[in-house]
Structure 1
Amino acid sequence: MTVIREDDLIASIAEALQYISYYHPPDFIRAMAAAYEREENPGAKQAMAQILVNSRMCAIGRRPICQDTGTANVIVEVGIEARIASKRSMQEIADEATRQAYKLDTNPLRASIVVDPFGERKNSGDNTPAMVTTEIVAGDKVKVTVSAKGGGSENKSKFTILNPSASVADWVVNTVETLGAGWCPPGILGVGVGGSADKAMKLAKAALNEPIDMADLIRRGPSNKAEELRLEIADRVNALGIGAQGLGGVTTVLDVKVKSFPTHAASLPVGLIPNCAATRHVTFTLDGSGPAEFMPPDLADWPEILLDQASAHARRIDLDDLNDEVVASLEPGQTLLLNGTLYTGRDAAHKRMVSMLDSGEPLPVDLKGRAIYYVGPVDAVGDEAIGPAGPTTSTRMDKFTDQILGETGLKVMIGKAERGPVALEAIAKHKAAYLIAVGGAAYLVSKAIKKAKPIAFQDLGMEAIYELQVEDMPVTVAVDTEGNSIHQTGPKQWRRAMAPAE
């Protein structure tokens, strides 16, 4: 019987979590590079360029691809002829590995897990517990798949039970059209069909870890119903014109992965889980000979892309001189380079600020005529001013927007993805503007941040308010002072008609 040492399993999972924090899977890079070459919308093409440049920087610097270093997902398949030499549960083993990985001094990863989902939502501080799935399978080895799943894409997960005669493709396409850009496309859709409610979602999550082969599938053609479904969904979703970061474009999904399982005759359960531009996963097998070894991917897989050309046409904005005239001159789709003072603030900070405003308390920071960045950065290492610091999904701040703009004099907000109707109305009412940074380019964005210091709400951890000094931070104007949104006009422009189904 094969014996797997506990220490080898813990060390392997911990190293895998570190590995995927800075290495995209090579198949993802090749698919993204091909999509970059195909893209016709300059704004979407520039967003993909930033994602690819950021990915290469992370591979070289071994720093996180995204500031949201994700929930640790650990899928363990234990061969029935193998034995794990441990007295601890698989949850305890995975949690110890997660703790070691996320607290590593040379590359600390952001702790995002809150231990009480109902109450204070206090951060666990080490990203535990991991999300663990264990299965007993044939064989004498232990196979482990480790992935890091960001909140932006996970929040867009959907489930339904269709009538058996209904179209899975119709439901998936119609659902994706409602998701907005908070899942940071271009990415991958995992679709689970059949089983039960929990099984369908498990299938969808597992599908995301399969190799990207959409280009090969298109070349050779489908050989079964699942492959026909993959092709139909991919073509129809890309025809929606959502594009990279929701700016409109040719490619919204790089691949669609489908897994199925037998189900009840009266049911057709369907789970949908998208993966973002920070797709991160790796699989390894232990045979009792020691911990897993992870080979760095070949840097030749990353295309050489220069961002200088786009920057040459960008408009520089002084954040320390944000008067009404400057803000009113910003146009949707315009590329900006931000310089000066920028404050941070996410959900928890906004909630606390609103509570203080309601009770008549002064805020700890004067936001009049200022800009705020929706970000929860990774801790800095070495001589970094800040760790990877990409944007979070802005719609979570929508309910606070009118009061914050009206009572503080804030002029500019920066995040990712679209704003909802409430926020658009508030932006137009208060003559503010909303900009987006590229989700999936966190390390690249952090290089524009030259100084960072926490100035309020330090007890909130990564959700504290920071004062940043930025130089040429790249962003795109998403909503102007009239409430016009690039996330509405862009996809509409790039949407293409589909031929009717036969």
Structure 2
Amino acid sequence: MTTTIRQEDLIQSVADALQFISYYHPRDFIDAVHAAYLREENPAARDAMAQILVNSRMCAEGHRPICQDTGIVTVFVRAGMDVRWEADMGLEEMINAGVARAYNHPDNKLRASILRDPAGERENTGDNTPAVVYTRLVPGDTVAIEVAAKGGGSEAKARFAMLNPSDSVVDWVLEQVPKMGAGWCPPGILGIGIGGTADKAMQLAKEACMESVDIHELRERGPASTVDELRLELFDRVNQLGIGAQGLGGLTTVLDVKIRDYPTHAANKPVAIIPNCAATRHVRFELDGSGVATLPAPKLEDWPEVTWGSAGQARRVDLAQVTPEDMAGWRPGETLLLSGTLLTGRDAAHKRIQELLARGESLPVDFRGKFIYYVGPVDPVGDEVMGPAGPTTATRMDKFTQMMLTQTGLAGMIGKAERSPETVDVIRRHGAVYLIAVGGAAYLVSRAIRSARVVAFEDLGMEAIHEFEVEDMPVTVAVSADGESIHETGPREWRARIGGIPVSVE
């Protein structure tokens, strides 16, 4: 039997799938985060997971992105060999047309993050194309497609090694995960690929990330293969590292460990890790010639009844009046609610500031006494002041921190994940602070923004410098003015505690 797939059906199905995953978490992921939230004993990590769950429900209700980083699109296609195409475009062209349609949807415009000429001008393509596409021809008369939108923060933490055949995969993974830090926004999923060639192992790891969370079911039925045994061992031992949600320390770092393997050369043992973050986004659909794929929307009652609100325990901060003496009293792990003016800026803006200062030119923005928020927000729609505006990984700005604190009068920074030891020392020497917002709670954070305008470098798009007026924006003190880092002390404390705490997935 031959099936005919129409070009428009594929394009619209890809577009619908990308819109769908921008605001709907997979149900298995939500259930796993909720279970981890209920088990968690570290208040800071529990608070972070509460924000992730509340944000997820808000996005499902409002049809707005879970994270401001709406990802690089990866598509796995399994095309039946009995399929005919009614199309004048190639397969990848059709997929990219769907990507462009999704990312420019007027009711839910997604952030364009893809840059052409990556080693040179790094110019934004404007519609988040092209996607990364993997295609297989298989027996059958349908086309099965899995679509994922992978955030840059988690993708940046991918790891690969060509181990010796006698080397331990477990030992290598346990060595790598602490080095990955918190920039991949745990709790999430580790996809691991073992075997094949270097490129095959990386593809296997990416495919593994698309699988459902089922570690608790594996625990109940028991391992039936070497891969099953590895999954269970790595799940336990990675969580025993105590890294915790957002790297704050805690019982849950990974919700599952997924592994795919492939035969390999006798002289090799290729191993790859790719993490999926708290904005896990993927969906599968099938085209059978009957039209555009149907994606059943989840029910709002599928989301747990979790509320978030730290007003009773948090310290309210007026950014217009905050002093170095005030900041000296903020302690790592403490929740703050910020109100007042913030400036934004990330990689491209910092590089341009550096170039202006090197030429002795004045800056277009006065940073004195201000906080900079590392963010590339989603454009607003409707009556929004600003679209989802969660933090980007602060580690990338470490190279600019000495310059910003010394030459601009900056008071502090807001981002996600850890800072390098050298940067922590720079923060200490200047009496500055570093705060974190929760990665994976971008829509929740955006609700604190009362006004927004571009104040410099408008040509940089989402990387332009914005001025935000915020009210009760939730953040956590990550590096205090005296140089104590929660990303060092938190995991160390919880690694020691976990030795005496039974950890299970029930």
| TM bucket, shorter chain | over 0.9
Aligned to 1:425: 425
**Residue 89 of structure 1: CA displacement?**
1.8
Task: Structure 2 unaligned segments of length 5 or more: list them.
Answer: 501-506
CA contact (8 A) 1:322 1:370 kept: no
- Give the Cα–Cα distance (whole angstroms) in 1 for the partners of residues 352 and 115 of structure 2: 17
**Residue 174 of structure 1: CA displacement?**
1.1
**Residue 426 of structure 1: CA displacement?**
1.1
**Residue 345 of structure 1: CA displacement?**
0.3
Aligned to 1:107: 108
Between stretches 236-245 and 316-325, larger displacement belongs to 316-325
Aligned to 1:70: 71
- Name the aligned partner's letter for residue 481 of structure 2: T
CA contact (8 A) 1:181 1:418 kept: yes
The CA deviation string for residues 326-354 of structure 1, in whole angstroms up to 9 with x for no partner, is 11111111100000000000000011111
CA contact (8 A) 1:327 1:411 kept: no
**Residue 87 of structure 1: CA displacement?**
2.8
Aligned to 2:158: 157
Where do 4+ consecutive residues of structure 1 move more than 4 Å?
Answer: 496-499
Aligned to 2:504: none
Aligned to 1:323: 323
**Residue 84 of structure 1: CA displacement?**
2.2
Alignment of 1:186-265 (within 5 A): 186-265=187-266
Aligned to 1:83: 84
- Give the Cα–Cα distance (whole angstroms) in 2 for the partners of residues 141 and 394 of structure 1: 44
- Give the Cα–Cα distance (whole angstroms) in 2 for the partners of residues 121 and 422 of structure 1: 28
- Give the Cα–Cα distance (whole angstroms) in 1 for the partners of residues 13 and 353 of structure 2: 42
- Name the aligned partner's letter for residue 400 of structure 2: F
- Give the Cα–Cα distance (whole angstroms) in 1 for the partners of residues 394 and 257 of structure 2: 26
- Give the Cα–Cα distance (whole angstroms) in 1 for the partners of residues 291 and 438 of structure 2: 40
- Give the Cα–Cα distance (whole angstroms) in 2 for the partners of residues 383 and 118 of structure 1: 38
Alignment of 1:369-448 (within 5 A): 369-448=369-448
The CA deviation string for residues 244-303 of structure 1, in whole angstroms up to 9 with x for no partner, is 000000000000000011111111111110000000000001100101011111222211
- Give the Cα–Cα distance (whole angstroms) in 1 for the partners of residues 218 and 359 of structure 2: 60
**Residue 54 of structure 1: CA displacement?**
0.0
Aligned to 2:169: 168
Between stretches 83-92 and 353-362, larger displacement belongs to 83-92
- Name the aligned partner's letter for residue 477 of structure 1: V
- Name the aligned partner's letter for residue 313 of structure 1: Q
Distance 1:298 1:3, change over 3 A: same
- Give the 3-state SS of the residue equivalent to 1:134 in structure 2: strand
- Give the Cα–Cα distance (whole angstroms) in 2 for the partners of residues 334 and 84 of structure 1: 58
Aligned to 1:29: 30
- Name the aligned partner's letter for residue 35 of structure 1: A
The CA deviation string for residues 226-258 of structure 1, in whole angstroms up to 9 with x for no partner, is 010000111000000000000000000000000
- Give the 3-state SS of the residue equivalent to 2:263 in structure 1: strand
**Residue 108 of structure 1: CA displacement?**
0.2
Task: Structure 1 unaligned segments of length 5 or more: list them.
Answer: none
**Residue 177 of structure 1: CA displacement?**
1.5
> TM (normalized to structure 1)?
0.98
- Give the Cα–Cα distance (whole angstroms) in 2 for the partners of residues 306 and 67 of structure 1: 22
- Give the 3-state SS of the residue equivalent to 1:266 in structure 2: coil
Between stretches 423-432 and 80-89, larger displacement belongs to 80-89
Matched, 1:469 2:465: no
How many residue pairs get aligned? The number is 498
- Name the aligned partner's letter for residue 134 of structure 1: T
**Residue 498 of structure 1: CA displacement?**
6.8
The CA deviation string for residues 346-377 of structure 1, in whole angstroms up to 9 with x for no partner, is 00001111111111111111111111100000
- Give the Cα–Cα distance (whole angstroms) in 1 for the partners of residues 436 and 8 of structure 2: 43
- Name the aligned partner's letter for residue 418 of structure 2: E
- Name the aligned partner's letter for residue 383 of structure 2: D
- Name the aligned partner's letter for residue 120 of structure 2: G
> TM (normalized to structure 2)?
0.97
The CA deviation string for residues 15-51 of structure 1, in whole angstroms up to 9 with x for no partner, is 0000000000000000010000000100000000000
- Give the Cα–Cα distance (whole angstroms) in 2 for the partners of residues 33 and 299 of structure 1: 15
- Give the 3-state SS of the residue equivalent to 2:311 in structure 1: helix
- Name the aligned partner's letter for residue 282 of structure 1: V
- Give the 3-state SS of the residue equivalent to 1:410 in structure 2: coil
- Give the Cα–Cα distance (whole angstroms) in 1 for the partners of residues 224 and 120 of structure 2: 50
- Give the 3-state SS of the residue equivalent to 1:382 in structure 2: coil
- Name the aligned partner's letter for residue 491 of structure 1: P
- Give the 3-state SS of the residue equivalent to 1:263 in structure 2: coil
**Residue 306 of structure 1: CA displacement?**
1.6
- Give the Cα–Cα distance (whole angstroms) in 2 for the partners of residues 406 and 83 of structure 1: 63
Aligned to 1:454: 454
